[in-house]
A and B are shown apart, each in its own frame.
Chain A
Amino acid sequence: SQQGEEDPQALSIQEGENATMNCSYKTSINNLQWYRQNSGRGLVHLILIRSNEREKHSGRLRVTLDTSKKSSSLLITASRAADTASYFCATSLGGATNKLIFGTGTLLAVQP
């Protein structure tokens, strides 16, 4: 069954504001990843956080992971219109296949 649930399903903010998206999952993981999908395009990897990490930064992105609550959040600071996209969390159980199980996604709209 589906591993990740994301919240909110849609988010509309103004340029310059921060955007926070949350992801919950059901089983133990090796790592959790966040991807962005622009309309009509493929998925682009943003950031990976391992199960033994609690927080990670990459540019304007900040990801947290709480394995006790089986949840993660993605914060985009100082958003730009170009950040408009769908954002997906994906969990990996590790191993040979490195299979990713995706959440339902959050559609972010950043108004100029």
Chain B
Amino acid sequence: DTAVSQTPKYLVTQMGNDKSIKCEQNLGHDTMYWYKQDSKKFLKIMFSYNNKELIINETVPNRFSPKSPDKAHLNLHINSLELGDSAVYFCASSQAYMNTEAFFGQGTRLTVV
């Protein structure tokens, strides 16, 4: 069983569209994250949720709206997509307060044309 799974793996869409990326973890972790990896491979945290509550929002444009229906799921919805949103988006999870490793999904490569 995949520990952290995100769908879709690839997403190609036009500017101005709205799209969603889904993430699920079966590890029983309390904390989930979204990271963005740009073309230079730099990984930047976008959001962190702990038990369905938003903990971190790293000055991400409000076109990005995370939703956590339960602690096993953290979805990312993006409105009015822009060319600069093209990147690989990674979902991850870890156990809160444990200061241990994070488990990452396989990534969603978003291409905005």
Residues of A within 8 A of B (CB): 2, 30-31, 33, 35, 37, 40-45, 48, 50, 86, 88, 90, 92, 94-102, 104-105, 107
On chain B, the residues within 8 Å of A37 by CB distance are 41
Q: Give min CB distance, A111 to chain B, whole Å.
A: 21
Q: Which residues of B contact A99 (CB under 8 A)?
A: 33, 45, 48, 56
How many residues belonging to B are interface residues under a CB distance threshold of 8 Å? 30
Q: Are the CB atoms of B45 and A43 closer together than 8 Å?
A: no
Query: Do B99 and A31 touch (CB < 8 A)?
Result: yes
A contacts with B: majority SS: strand
Residues of B within 8 A of A (CB): 4, 31, 33, 35, 40-45, 48, 50, 55-56, 90, 92, 94-107
Q: Is the CB of B105 within 8 A of A42?
A: yes
Are B90 and A97 in contact (CB-based, < 8 A)? no
Contact flag A42-B94 (CB < 8 Å), given A2-B42, A98-B31, A99-B48:
no
A48: nearest chain-B partner, CB-CB: B101
Contacts A2-B42, A88-B43, A105-B41; is A98 near B100 (CB within 8 Å)? Answer: yes
